[in-house]
């Protein structure tokens, strides 16, 4: 099964899903909430006077918050349209690779995010490894890349996530 | 508070960052998950986490990203810019762990008018390495 299944998986690389828009604009309350949780005292994020005198001209969001703006709501739950990455993971579930583990994270920051910016994103699977033996079981490493734009259509950042989808057991 | 920023000229390849130790509590783990809008139960529901075979709730990836960014930004100061980070995830960080953060400069170079520094860092918890990876920072330069 291995090689044929792998070829099937590879055929889906690069297919981009629908562009999804954040519910909320980048905003100071969420920035402050993040900084309190992370114990991050960087004045660019919460000190309006400091930030106004900086090259940014005002408060910006911590770059690492990039994924936060587009996270799905807790309630009411929304059904997002099936996305290539989710469909990929489902295909792997159906082939018996139930286990999932995030192994790598990468973020690139291209433009600062200011309060008032509205983020949208799309994502696609960008890499699949051949079947590999790991300590958790046999599986494939799948990398998905998220591309975040602002309301002007400028790409503000990207995130890559590598996930191991594996068959539990030897 | 006086926020100093490093200049590119003052940084040396091989230079190590100060070690930072953060005590991680249940509140730290849950606050980070909620602030990053990650409501996955393994990050706030102990019964659920233990049902899934884990010792306890554990820190989510977005919080690890947050702390990596903070560690690097605190080292370089607010005039530096974080360009990218990339890391492998290892042992989970559980409530009660102390997260010990270390890092160093590995390369110093220019690219057009940007003055860049490549760094490596590692976050360790008592049971092993939570994450380890690389980053690229742009620092202000005195000479133009």
Question: Exposed, middle or buried, A90 (CB in 10 Å: 0-12/13-18/19+)?
Answer: exposed
**CA of A93: how far to CAs of A22, A89, B5, in Å?**
28, 6, 48
Predicted pLDDT of residue B29? 98
Predicted pLDDT of residue A3? 83
Cβ–Cβ contacts within 10 Å for residue B108, how many? 17
Predicted pLDDT of residue A82? 78
ipTM score of complex: 0.95
Q: Tell whether B65 lies on the interface with A, counting CB pairs under 8 A.
A: yes
Predicted pLDDT of residue B87? 98
Q: Tell whether B4 lies on the interface with A, counting CB pairs under 8 A.
A: no
CATH H-level superfamily of A2-23+63-168? Hotdog Thioesterase (3.10.129.10)
Looking at CA atoms only, how far is residue B74 from chain A in angstroms? Answer: 7
Contact: A63, B87; criterion CB under 8 Å: no
Query: Rounded to whole angstroms, how far apart are CA atoms A27 and B54?
Result: 35
Q: What is the three-class DSSP state of B21?
A: strand
Low-confidence ranges of chain A (pLDDT < 50): none
**CA of A20: how far to CAs of A112, A145, B36, in Å?**
20, 14, 18
Helices (H), B17-132: 26-35, 46-51, 61-76
Contact: B32, A102; criterion CB under 8 Å: no
Q: Report the first-to-last Cα separation within chain A, whole angstroms.
A: 17
Q: Report the first-to-last Cα separation within chain B, whole angstroms.
A: 28
Residue pair B17/B28 in contact (Cβ under 8 Å)? The answer is no
The helix/strand count (H/E) of chain B reads as: 3, 5
Handedness of CA B43, A67, A118, A20 (dihedral sign): negative
Measure CB to CB from residue B65 to each of A39, A105, A108 and give the nearest one: A105
User: Nearest-CA residue of chain B relative to A74?
Assistant: B39
Q: Tell whether B70 lies on the interface with A, counting CB pairs under 8 A.
A: yes
Contact: B39, A74; criterion CB under 8 Å: yes
Predicted pLDDT of residue B1? 59
Q: H-helix or E-strand containing B20?
A: strand B20-23
Give the tens place of pLDDT for each residue, A16-62.
Answer: 888 999 999 999 999 999 999 999 999 999 999 999 999 999 999 99
Q: What is the pTM of this model?
A: 0.93
Which one of B30, B37, B135 makes the best mutation probe of the A interface by having the most chain A beta carbons within 10 Å?
B37
Residue pair B92/B19 in contact (Cβ under 8 Å)? The answer is no
Predicted pLDDT of residue A136? 84
Contact: B73, A50; criterion CB under 8 Å: no
Q: H-helix or E-strand containing B138?
A: strand B128-138
Q: Where in chain A is the domain with CATH 3.10.129.10?
A: 2-23+63-168
Domains and CATH numbers, chain B: 8-138 (3.10.129.10)
Query: Rounded to whole angstroms, how far apart are CA atoms B70 and A63?
Result: 10
**Selected residues 93-122 of chain B with any CB under 8 Å from a CB in chain A:** none
Contact: A42, B67; criterion CB under 8 Å: no
List chain B pLDDT tens, one digit each, 144 residues. Answer: 578 889 999 999 999 999 999 999 999 999 999 999 999 999 999 999 999 889 999 999 999 999 999 999 999 999 999 999 999 999 999 999 999 999 999 999 999 999 999 999 999 999 999 999 999 999 999 865
């Amino acid at each position: 099964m291995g090689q044929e299944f792998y070829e099937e998986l590879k055929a889906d690389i690069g297919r981009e899903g629908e562009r999804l828009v954040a519910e909320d604009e980048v905003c100071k309350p969420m920035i402050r909430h993040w900084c309190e949780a992370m114990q991050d005292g960087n004045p660019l994020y919460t000190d309006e006077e400091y930030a106004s005198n900086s090259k940014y001209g005002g408060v910006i969001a911590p770059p690492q918050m990039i994924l936060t703006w587009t996270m799905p709501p807790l309630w009411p739950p929304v059904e997002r349209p099936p996305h290539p990455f989710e469909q990929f993971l489902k295909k792997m579930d159906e082939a018996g690779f139930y286990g999932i583990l995030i192994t790598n994270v990468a973020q690139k920051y291209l433009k600062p995010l200011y309060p008032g910016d509205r983020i949208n994103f799309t994502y696609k699977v960008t890499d699949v490894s051949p079947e590999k033996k790991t300590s958790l079981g046999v599986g494939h490493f799948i990398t998905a890349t998220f591309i975040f734009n602002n309301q002007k259509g400028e790409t503000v950042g990207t995130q890559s996530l590598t996930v191991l989808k594996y068959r539990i057991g030897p | 508070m006086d926020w100093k920023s490093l200049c590119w000229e003052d940084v040396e390849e091989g230079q190590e960052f100060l070690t930072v130790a953060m005590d991680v509590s249940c509140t730290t783990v849950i606050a980070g998950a909620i602030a990053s809008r990650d409501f996955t139960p393994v990050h706030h529901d102990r019964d659920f986490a233990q049902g899934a075979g884990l010792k306890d709730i554990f820190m989510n990836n977005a919080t690890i990203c947050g702390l990596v960014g903070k560690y690097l930004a605190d080292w370089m100061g607010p005039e530096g810019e974080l360009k990218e980070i990339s890391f492998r995830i290892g042992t989970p960080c559980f409530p009660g762990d102390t997260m010990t953060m270390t890092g160093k400069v590995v390369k110093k170079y220019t690219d057009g008018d940007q003055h860049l520094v490549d760094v490596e860092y590692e976050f360790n918890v008592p049971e092993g390495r939570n994450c380890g990876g690389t980053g690229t920072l742009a620092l202000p330069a005195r000479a133009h």
